[in-house]
Structure 1
Amino acid sequence: MEETIAGPEAAHIPKQRGESLLDAAVRYVEERHWDVFPGTWLDAVDGMHRCSCGQSACPAPGAHPARDDWATQATGSATVARGLWSERPTASILLPTGRTFDAIDVPETAGFLALARMERMELTLGPVTLTPARRMQFFVLPGASAKVPDLLRKLGWQAASLDLVTLGEGAYVAAPPTRFGSRGAVQWARRPTSANRWLPDAEELVSPLAYACGRDR
């Protein structure tokens, strides 16, 4: 049975339970054709969870690339993904952006507000993640990172004034059920389904996202 958590402005979000990181990584490749690569992992040290990178003040413990050449390690092969997570079953699942999707990253409070507004507007949504760092990431078609600044200007917003970041080529997102230290796991605010296989263009979502970020300042 799925447990749910309530957001400030949106419906309940299902918690992912019972699926291993290996199975989830393979499923993303097979069902969504997303490239995946293993990141850092959490080690238990004196009863505490520490990032495998060894930094005591790691900003994303257990949820960032483990090597500098991560972009070349990312794979769209289910066989290769199975092998990578068989070697390191606790490695985080990271998805490179700028390939099959970009992501628009906003604060959690703005994200829930935008989700509620998008649903009232009956906009088509892609998958949306919710991270323990209290960020939400809206998956959109590739190319968003190049067009969002201009879209914001046309809407009358200065990109620097909003806590809205577009993740494209050279960036990545952490996918469920990746854990962030002791803060919990990444979850799907809108999980991948057959209904959202076709992603929206950033132009369709940027207005409600910018409005929500503007209110959240």
Structure 2
Amino acid sequence: MEETKGVTEAAPIPKQRGEQLVDHAVRYAEERHWDVFPGTWLEAEDGRELCSCGNTECPAPGAHPVMQGWAASATGSAMQVRRMWQKQPKAGILLPTGRTFDAIDVPEAAGFLALARMERMELTLGPVTLTPNRRMLFFVLPGATAKVPDLVRKLGWSPASIDLVARGEGEYAAAPPTRFGGRGAVQWARRPTPANRWLPDAEELINPLAYACGREAASARDRRD
């Protein structure tokens, strides 16, 4: 428990009266210069919130691309963003990785442990998201997908064994306040601010992240045994 002491709890972006998903999407494009594109959305049916894709067992209801060619539709133009969300105001906000940032994806418990260590080490952090499926994504400079596997192995770990994944070109991250079905919304564990506009390199964060993931993996094995 001591490892997470002092870590700020994740919280949703404060919503202004009448604020819509499109307003968040436009801010990401204008203030962060991130490309964005609309994803699926939620539809109420028989007291349940189901994904617009029609799959009743959808693993990310309301938070995945609508079509295969989604990468070509991603844009940093506020005007284009408004036009896309006019078609479906409830669409989730998705950010393509591999362009202005990559993301290191880790389990939630390991992410909070790593954040505590990073604070003690006074490391510079970029934005960090927390998803309802208990994952955390640390935004880093593009190129992480090429570096992370070797960096993790040099620290004595196998990336697959510690559940640490780098997301880059051809992948995406759901942005707050996109909702995952009835499980809640994506939140910021570390919000985008002027102070973290310049992202860290994956190499700067990999040590505490790999350590935390390795520790979490060992704890999971002990629980199974």
Q: TM-score range by the shorter chain?
A: over 0.9
Find out whether 1:52 has 2:49 as its counterpart: no
Superposition map of 1:92-131 within 5 A: 92-131=92-131
The separation in 2 between residues aligned to 1:48 and 1:16, in whole angstroms, is: 25
Post-superposition Cα deviations, 1:172-199, rounded to whole Å, max 9, x if no partner, equal 0000000000000000000000000000
Q: Which residue of 1 aligns with 2:145?
A: 145
TM-score (normalised: structure 1):
0.95
Q: State whether structure 2 residue 1 is matched by structure 1 residue 11.
A: no
Q: Give the whole-Å Cα distance in 1 for the aligned partners of 2:107 and 2:10.
A: 16
Distance 2:189 2:63 in 1: 18
Counterpart for residue 38 of structure 2: 38
Who is 2:221 aligned against? none
Asked if the contact 2:12–2:177 (Cα under 8 Å) also holds between the matched residues in 1, the reply is: no
Which residue is equivalent to 1:62?
62
Return the letter of the residue paired with 2:79. Answer: T
Task: Work out whether residues 12 and 176 of structure 2, in 8 Å CA contact, stay in contact via their aligned partners in 1.
Answer: no
SS where residue 151 of structure 2 aligns? helix
Q: Is residue 106–residue 165 contact of structure 2 (8 Å, CA) maintained in 1?
A: yes
Amino acid at match of 1:194: P
Bigger fraction of residues in helix: 2
Residues 75-98 of structure 1: CA distance to partner in whole angstroms, max 9, x if unpaired? Answer: 111100011112211000000000
**Aligned equivalent of 2:20:** 20
Q: Is the 8 A contact 1:8 1:109 kept in 2?
A: no
CA distance in 2, matches of 1:8, 1:196: 21
Per the TM alignment, residue 13 of structure 1 is displaced from its structure 2 partner at its CA by 2.3
Residue 155 of structure 1, CA deviation? 1.1
Cα separation, 1, equivalents of 2:111 and 2:97: 19
What is the CA-CA distance between 1:8 and the residue it aligns to? 5.5
CA distance in 1, matches of 2:116, 2:159: 22
Cα RMSD, aligned residues only: 1.2
Matches of 1:23 and 1:68, distance apart in 2:
25
Q: Secondary structure at the match of 1:161?
A: coil
SS in 2 for 1:157: coil
| Deviation readout 1:20-40 (Å, 9 max, x if unpaired) | 210000000000000000000
State whether residues 10 and 130 of structure 2, in contact with CA within 8 Å, keep that contact through their aligned partners in structure 1. Answer: no
Aligned to 1:79: 79
Rounded to whole Å, the distance in 1 between the matches of 2:204 and 2:191 is 19
1:19-76 Cα distance to aligned partner (Å, 9 max, x none): 4210000000000000000000000011110000000100000000001100001011
2:199 alignment partner in structure 1: 199
TM-score (normalised: structure 2): 0.91
1:162, distance to aligned residue in structure 2 (A): 1.1
**What letter corresponds to residue 14 of structure 1 in structure 2?**
A
Q: How many pairs were matched up?
A: 211
Whole-angstrom CA distance in 1 between matches of 2:51 and 2:14: 22
